[in-house]
Structure 1
Amino acid sequence: MACKPKIDFMTIPLKALNFTVRKRLGLYLNPRNVVAADWATLAEMMGFSYIEIKNYEKRDAPFEKILDDWESQCPDATVGKFLSMLEEAGRHDVVTDHIDLIEEDVRKYLEKMKEPVQVPDIDSWTPEKNGITIKDDPSGNVPETFDAFICYCQSDIEFVHEMIRQLEQTDHRLKLCVFDRDVLPGTCVWTITSELIEKRCKRMVVVISDDYLESEACDFQTKFALSLSPGAQKKRLIPVIYKTMKKPFPSILRFLTVCDYTRPCTQSWFWVRLAKALSLP
């Protein structure tokens, strides 16, 4: 029987680890441990600050969260670096019990990377992109563009309506991309969202709420926008808080200046500040 080729885990991005493996790792690392290193030790090794780690303590599954955040914030986060951290922290048991599953995930990832990429001429999504919003030119020659993509949860739709009134229907005359209003039905959500954020919208407003933190769609949109290079600098994300939150503010956005509607002393400036930020070239 032929031996499997050795894998250089240092070259494998952390995204190769699937949900099941991350969950199993969490069973070992989420419980606080006075004898062995736990998730907090790894968080410190990943570069998270004391305050951030204290906030992660409030999460039900802090290990999975720090792994996701480290992956999104550190371009060179690899499976090899993660395994080295576990070894350095003395958690050889975690490595031993999971190395076969991790290797299986990595081999699946490498096989997927070998799959041929469709060229634009035969890409099944290309025709759809020619008409994805209600005001798109059917010929695809003049795609509709926007000042900002609005990332929001359905539970926050009333605030989004207020945003439309304040930014589109006043002298600001901004053009917002609101998915439920502007995108044609029948399109692939993930593909079209990526197209809108990357190519059609100058910026992205993220409506932060407790429900936002649990939304898979909002999580994808935020991480996709942050991952754009050099788009992460050109497409400034603007976090907006409009009501008091019970959960901690998402650490992935902690370096960005927030537009906070919950502070009565600055509410009168809120819409002007937001409009100005969206109007910049």
Structure 2
Amino acid sequence: MACVDSEVNLWSIPLVALNVTVRKKLALYLNPKNTVAADWTAVAEAMGFSYLEIKNHEAARSPAESVLENWQARSSEASVGKLLSVLNEVERKDVVEDLRPLIDEDVRRYCERQKKPPEPPLQVAEVDSCVPRTLEKIGITLDDDPEGAPELFDAFICYCHSDFEFVHEMIRELEQTECRLKLCVFDRDVLPGSCVWTITSELIEKRCKRMVVVISDEYLDSDACDFQTKFALSLCPGARGKRLIPVKYKPMSRPFPSILRFLTICDYTRPLTQDWFWKRLAKALSQPASHI
């Protein structure tokens, strides 16, 4: 297993570089309550979480992984170097020593991905003269102009299919009224035939000013929603830029996702504030990106 280059500054490597395997192994060390060694609660406290925030993480299936995700989303200081520093600070040098080879390998792969230029599309000589009508990341939505600027949106709507009725209501309230906002609804606006993850990332990062996350019990089981939310959060650590806006539109039987608890939500379930719901959401989405 190759080691990370000694010249790499681990404090500059974001926590997203660590893959699922490392996070799960770290949780195996930190999740058990330990009267001798520091557990995940000590790590969370060293990361700056409050007592109430730590208590909320206790309900998670894997509190240590939940803390890492939340820390990654809320703090610009969430780096591999800072994580190792925190583990040393709480005197869990055993964890650092055991996981360091795996961490170094993840960092090495992350650095290689950052340096690696995008690979050109493969073509065989027989079709070399064929010119595609649209570029991969331009001809991806219904109104994309292959010869002009790509289609842009005020917000990407993150939802699962069981919540599509509420998405229809959102379209009526935000697009078909005086608000005149432009929403990116994947099933309506995206052309079929492209890689879902590639296109989704392109839309969230470069085409949409913000992302509305429709929260429900079903959302918690959606791999697509999980990817979209974490990708959007990685673009705005600490919620800078107000890129992501959670919306709760019906009561939930399961805990609200911990990764979003630090964000102000639009709550449609409160009867006393329903009259202001769409106005507040429209105002948040209509703010110029350069002014936030």
Query: Shorter-chain TM-score category?
Result: 0.7 to 0.9
Which residue is equivalent to 2:165?
158
- What displacement does 1:215 show? 3.2
- Residue 272 in structure 1 maps to residue 273 in structure 2: no
Q: What SS does the aligned partner of 1:129 have?
A: coil
Corresponding residue to 1:136 among 144, 160, 165: 144
Q: What SS does the aligned partner of 1:147 have?
A: strand
- With over 3 angstroms needed to count, the CA separation of the structure-2 counterparts of 1:12 and 1:136, relative to structure 1, is closer
Q: What SS does the aligned partner of 1:128 have?
A: coil
Deviation digits for residues 161-205 of structure 1 (CA, Å, limit 9, x no counterpart): 221222223343332110011100111222222222233223321
- What displacement does 1:62 show? 1.0
**Which structure is richer in relative contact order (CA contacts within 8 A, separation 6 or more)?**
2
- Residue 147 in structure 1 maps to residue 154 in structure 2: yes
Q: Distance in 1 between matches of 2:150 and 2:112?
A: 36
Deviation digits for residues 81-138 of structure 1 (CA, Å, limit 9, x no counterpart): 22222222122322232223223333333444443x138xx478x811221111222x
Q: Which runs of 4+ in 1 moved over 4 A?
A: 232-235
- What displacement does 1:55 show? 0.9
Which residue is equivalent to 1:212?
219
Q: Distance in 1 between matches of 2:244 and 2:136?
A: 26
- What displacement does 1:5 show? 5.6
- With over 3 angstroms needed to count, the CA separation of the structure-2 counterparts of 1:102 and 1:277, relative to structure 1, is closer
Task: Report the TM-score, using the length of structure 2 for normalisation.
Answer: 0.81
Which residue is equivalent to 1:68?
69
Q: What is the 5 A alignment of 1:95-110? A: 95-110=96-111
Residue range with higher mean Cα deviation, 271-280 or 128-137: 271-280
Deviation digits for residues 22-67 of structure 1 (CA, Å, limit 9, x no counterpart): 1111111112223321111101111111111111100011111111
Q: Distance in 1 between matches of 2:141 and 2:27?
A: 41
Which residue is equivalent to 1:21?
22
* Paired residues of 1:16 and 1:109 also in contact (CA < 8 A): yes
Q: What SS does the aligned partner of 1:202 have?
A: strand
Which residue is equivalent to 1:54?
55
Q: Distance in 1 between matches of 2:4 and 2:176?
A: 63
- What displacement does 1:257 show? 2.8
Q: What is the 5 A alignment of 1:197-208? A: 197-208=204-215
Structure 2 gap segments, 5+ residues each: 123-133
Task: Report the TM-score, using the length of structure 1 for normalisation.
Answer: 0.84
Q: What SS does the aligned partner of 2:246 have?
A: strand
Q: What SS does the aligned partner of 2:135 have?
A: helix
Q: What is the percent sequence identity of the aligned residues?
A: 68
Q: Distance in 2 between matches of 1:90 and 1:144?
A: 52
- Residue 221 in structure 1 maps to residue 228 in structure 2: yes
- With over 3 angstroms needed to count, the CA separation of the structure-2 counterparts of 1:123 and 1:70, relative to structure 1, is farther
- Residue 260 in structure 1 maps to residue 261 in structure 2: no
Q: Distance in 1 between matches of 2:174 and 2:27?
A: 43
Structure 1 gap segments, 5+ residues each: none
Letter in 1 for 2:206: K
- With over 3 angstroms needed to count, the CA separation of the structure-2 counterparts of 1:9 and 1:243, relative to structure 1, is same
- What displacement does 1:143 show? 2.6
Q: Distance in 2 between matches of 1:4 and 1:275?
A: 47
- With over 3 angstroms needed to count, the CA separation of the structure-2 counterparts of 1:237 and 1:127, relative to structure 1, is same
Residue range with higher mean Cα deviation, 210-219 or 65-74: 210-219
Q: Distance in 1 between matches of 2:285 and 2:114?
A: 38
Which residue is equivalent to 1:127?
135
